[in-house]
Structure 1
Amino acid sequence: MLRFLARELHSWRLMHASSNRLVRPLDRLETTVLLALCVSALAGLLAALTVGGNTYAAHKAAAEVQGPRHSVSATVITTPKQDDSPTIVAWRRPDGARLTAAVDSERQDRVGRVRLIWLDDEQRVADPPVTHTDAVVEGVMAGLGVVMLTAMGWWGLVLLVRAAADRHRMRRWEAEWLELDIDSHR
Structure 2
Amino acid sequence: MSAKARGRLFWRWRRNPLKRRSDVVEAWVALVAGLVMTVGGTAAGVATSAAVERPLLAQRAERHRVPARLLEDAPVAAPGADGTRADRVPATVRWKAPDGTAHTGTARVREGSAAGTATVVWIDRRGRVVREPLTQQEAESRAALTGVTAATGVCLVTLAGRRVVRWRLDRCRAAQWERAWAEVEPRWSSRGG
TM-score normalised over the length of structure 2: 0.63
For 2:68 and 2:37, locate their aligned partners in 1 and report how far apart those are by CA, in whole Å: 45
Q: 2:123 aligns with which of 120, 133, 141?
A: 120
Structure 1 runs of 4+ with >4 Å offset: 69-74, 113-117, 121-124
Q: Deviations over 1:128-175 (max 9, x none)?
A: 133112211221122022122112201211210111111111111122
Q: Could you say which residue in structure 2 is the equivalent of 1:144?
A: 148
Change (3 A) 1:114 1:38: farther
Q: Deviations over 1:65-120 (max 9, x none)?
A: 432346877636xxxxxxxxxx9832477xxxxx852569xxxxxxxx75998343
Q: Could you say which residue in structure 2 is the equivalent of 1:89?
A: 91
For 2:55 and 2:141, locate their aligned partners in 1 and report how far apart those are by CA, in whole Å: 12
Contact 1:69/1:129 (8 A) holds in 2 = no
For 2:184 and 2:165, locate their aligned partners in 1 and report how far apart those are by CA, in whole Å: 28
Number of corresponding residues: 155
For 1:182 and 1:126, locate their aligned partners in 2 and report how far apart those are by CA, in whole Å: 81
1:171 aligned onto 2:168 = no
CA RMSD of aligned residues (A): 3.7
Counterpart residue identity of residue 22, structure 2: L
For 2:142 and 2:63, locate their aligned partners in 1 and report how far apart those are by CA, in whole Å: 17
For 1:63 and 1:128, locate their aligned partners in 2 and report how far apart those are by CA, in whole Å: 8
5+ long unaligned stretches in structure 2: 76-88, 96-102, 114-118
For 1:169 and 1:49, locate their aligned partners in 2 and report how far apart those are by CA, in whole Å: 39
Shift of 1:40: 1.2
Shift of 1:28: 0.2
For 1:48 and 1:162, locate their aligned partners in 2 and report how far apart those are by CA, in whole Å: 27
Q: Could you say which residue in structure 2 is the equivalent of 1:6?
A: none
TM-score normalised over the length of structure 1: 0.65
Contact 2:93/2:107 (8 A) holds in 1 = no
Contact 1:117/1:125 (8 A) holds in 2 = no
Identity of counterpart residues, as a percentage?
A: 18
DSSP-derived class of the 1:20 partner:
coil
Change (3 A) 1:178 1:89: same
1:16 aligned onto 2:12 = yes
